[in-house]
């Protein structure tokens, strides 16, 4: 991977101390999106890494996973499937509840969005505890989809999400790390 692009991406992410709660160092990906150069470099690195690997769908998690998943799916020439917070998807859904770094939440997916022929790439902006992506992987597998790869712009390795996902058989790619 291009080291200049990786440095550009990391340097474009602002940190907000004590947001949304005291003690949380919030890594704000909106500052990356504000830089056309950094946003473009992010998608280009992901496309180069995942093209020609046979993925049939990209799944992105609400909300910030959409910002990277949709452009990546377009570039890879495959469909994009949103995993959303409860009550947002109009067709039949299945759901999973999970723990966050700061709270608890539930995620849903349309039951007809993934099938047994799908080889799925999961993407989100940030990996912390891995709870969001563990729930997402369970949803995809429950629908019969194959999922063995997850991509993140940011990883917080000290929180342990990477190990949690590896234990689920998921190979993790993250473009930058923060404490
Ligand atoms: C954040 C972030 C990831 C998740 C990472 O989303 O965008 O999706 O937390 O945490 P984890 O690895 O501990 O699960 P959040 O739930 O705040 O939702 P939002 O994107 O809708 O703000
Ligand atoms: N989601 C969970 N932990 C986070 C953090 N430290 N910064 C940004 N988003 C997050």
Distance (angstroms) between ligand 1 centre and the Cα of 147 equals 19
| Strands 93-100 vs 171-177: parallel, antiparallel or unpaired | unpaired
Burial pattern 2-33, b for ≥16 Cβ within 10 A else e, equals eeebeebbbebbeeeeeeeeeeeeebbbeebb
Kindly tell me if the per-residue pLDDT of 102 is higher than 70: no
- Which ligand is nearest the CA of 19, by number? 2
For residue range 27-38, list pLDDT tens digits in order: 999 999 999 999
- Which ligand is nearest the CA of 129, by number? 1
Residue nearest to atom 6 of ligand 2 (CA): 26
Q: What is the chain's mean pLDDT, rounded? A: 96
pTM of the predicted protein model: 0.96
Residue nearest to atom 10 of ligand 1 (CA): 128
For residue range 134-164, list pLDDT tens digits in order: 999 999 999 999 999 999 999 999 999 999 9
Q: What is the ipTM of this complex?
A: 0.95
Distance (angstroms) between ligand 1 centre and the Cα of 125 equals 8
């Amino acid at each position: 991977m291009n080291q200049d692009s990786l440095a550009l991406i990391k340097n474009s992410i602002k940190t907000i101390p004590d947001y949304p709660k005291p003690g949380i160092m919030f890594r704000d990906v909106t500052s990356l999106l504000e830089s056309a150069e950094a946003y473009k470099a992010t998608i280009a690195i992901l496309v180069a890494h995942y093209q020609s690997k046979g993925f049939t769908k990209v799944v992105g998690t609400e909300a910030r996973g959409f910002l990277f998943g949709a452009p990546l799916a377009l570039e890879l020439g495959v469909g994009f499937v949103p995993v959303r917070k409860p009550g947002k998807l109009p067709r039949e859904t299945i759901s999973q509840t999970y723990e966050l770094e700061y709270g608890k939440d539930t995620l849903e997916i349309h039951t007809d969005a993934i099938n047994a022929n799908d080889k799925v790439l999961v993407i989100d902006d940030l990996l912390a505890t891995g709870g969001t992506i563990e729930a997402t992987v369970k949803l995809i597998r429950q629908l019969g989809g194959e999922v063995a790869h997850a991509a993140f712009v940011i990883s917080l390795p000290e929180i342990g999400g990477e190990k949690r996902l590896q234990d689920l058989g998921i190979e993790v790619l993250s473009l930058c790390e923060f404490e």
